[in-house]
């Protein structure tokens, strides 16, 4: 029996149905890994490269640096896009390698720094890995998108999030997956796919107060659970001595971190998405159907993150 639900936060309408698995599935297309560094726009960036933006983070996963978005160069009156770039191609941000938490900590710390430079504007902090997540190439990187005006949907979502009833619906115990460091991982009322989770600070917190290490631990916990549920944990382990060093991302994901509004209302919140498990193309919006309703969805992930 299918059930229809509206997400009180995102406004998405979803149809939960046990028949979802019977539908044809899109096959993930693994992105070609550029091994020739001359073909990668980020590799071997010279110290005097005019695209570089001041700021870098070293937190145990190499030197992550910042650069203007280059395809296209987005920097003008309507807003800016800045890239956060990792030091090399392997491992990616979805390989389970020993420094993965440090890598995600580096991403969030530098994104937080960059967003903090435009306090009068709203920023979307996003990291896409793999072709289905919209990443145009393999080099580990994320983005900080700072439009000159807050997108109406983002203002609406922050207003909904400040409604105690909406917050209570999102934080209900039966949808909870894991709690730590004042952060709640939970099953979204209407995800875009069956492996997506929500990440919320349990108390309202601006992006400037986000603890990059704590958020990185929750994201990595989610990735471990995704690999365990998919049976890909062994394949995703990164062995720098093996040929797998050139392997593409073992799973495509997107992490979308929404900042509070520029007037200080609202809180940061995040969507963790396994994009390759989303319904393809036109089927993705606005109706979404997945196998597990929120409580069962949370149960699958609980104890694994």
Provide the binding-site residues for Zn ion, judged by CB under 5 A.
Answer: 40, 42-43, 139
Rounded CA separation 145/286 (Å): 24
Output the residue with the shortest Cβ distance to Zn ion: 40
* 141 DSSP β-pair partners: 85
Rounded to whole angstroms, how far apart are CA atoms 260 and 163? 14
| Choice between 51 and 302, CB closer to Zn ion | 51
43 vs 291, which CB is nearer to Zn ion? Answer: 43
Cite the DSSP H helix spans in the chain: 100-115, 152-161, 164-170, 212-230, 233-236, 294-301
Least distance to Zn ion, CB of residue 139, Å: 3
Tokens of 56: 């870098």
Got the DSSP string for 229-271?
HHT-HHHHB--TTSGGGG---SS-EEEEEEPPPTTS-S--EEE
CB of 279 to Zn ion, least distance (A): 31
Distance of closest approach, residue 44 Cβ to Zn ion, in angstroms: 8
Q: Which is nearer to Zn ion, 34 or 155 (CB)?
A: 34
Least distance between Zn ion and beta carbon 106 (Å)? 16
CB of 61 to Zn ion, least distance (A): 15
Give the CA angle between residues 267, 269, 273 to the nearest 5°.
Answer: 170
For residue 142, the Cα-to-chain-centroid distance in whole angstroms is: 9
139 vs 292 by CB, closer to Zn ion = 139
Q: Could you tell me the smallest distance in angstroms from the CB atom of residue 40 to Zn ion? A: 3
How many Cβ atoms sit within 10 Å of the Cβ of residue 12? Answer: 17
- For Zn ion, the closer of residues 86 and 188 by Cβ is 86
Joined tokens for residue 86: 């990792």
Residue 241 to residues 99, 100, 236, 245, 263, Cα–Cα distance (Å): 15, 17, 14, 7, 50
CB closer to Zn ion, 33 vs 233: 33
Q: Cβ of residue 92: shortest distance to Zn ion, in angstroms?
A: 11
**CB-wise, 6 or 35, nearer to Zn ion?**
35
Sign of the CA dihedral running 180, 253, 124, 39: positive
């Amino acid at each position: 029996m299918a059930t229809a639900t509206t997400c009180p936060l995102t406004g998405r309408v979803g149809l939960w149905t046990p028949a979802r698995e019977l539908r044809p599935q899109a096959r993930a297309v693994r992105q070609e890994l550029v091994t020739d560094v001359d073909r990668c726009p980020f590799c071997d960036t010279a110290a005097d490269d005019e695209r570089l933006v001041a700021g870098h983070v070293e937190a145990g996963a190499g030197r992550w640096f910042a650069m203007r978005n280059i395809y296209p160069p987005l920097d003008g009156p309507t807003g800016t896009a800045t890239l956060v770039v990792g030091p090399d191609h392997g491992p990616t941000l979805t390989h389970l390698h020993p420094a993965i938490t440090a890598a995600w900590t580096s991403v969030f710390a530098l994104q937080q720094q960059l967003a903090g430079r435009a306090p009068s504007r709203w920023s979307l902090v996003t990291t896409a890995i793999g072709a289905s997540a919209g990443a145009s190439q393999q080099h580990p990187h994320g983005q900080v998108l700072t439009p000159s005006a807050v997108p109406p949907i983002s203002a609406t979502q922050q207003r909904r999030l400040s409604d105690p009833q909406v917050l209570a619906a999102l934080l209900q115990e039966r949808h909870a997956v894991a709690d730590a460091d004042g952060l709640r991982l939970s099953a979204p009322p209407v995800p875009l796919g069956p492996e997506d989770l929500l990440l919320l600070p349990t108390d309202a917190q601006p992006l400037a107060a986000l603890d990059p290490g704590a958020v990185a631990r929750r994201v990595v916990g989610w990735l471990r659970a995704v690999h365990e549920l998919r049976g890909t944990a062994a394949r995703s382990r990164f062995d720098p001595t093996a040929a797998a060093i050139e392997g593409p991302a073992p799973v495509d994901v997107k992490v979308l971190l929404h900042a509070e509004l520029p007037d200080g209302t609202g809180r940061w919140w995040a969507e963790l998405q396994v994009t390759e498990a989303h319904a393809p193309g036109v089927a993705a919006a606005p109706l979404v159907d997945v196998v597990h309703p929120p409580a069962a969805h949370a149960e699958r992930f609980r104890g694994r993150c």
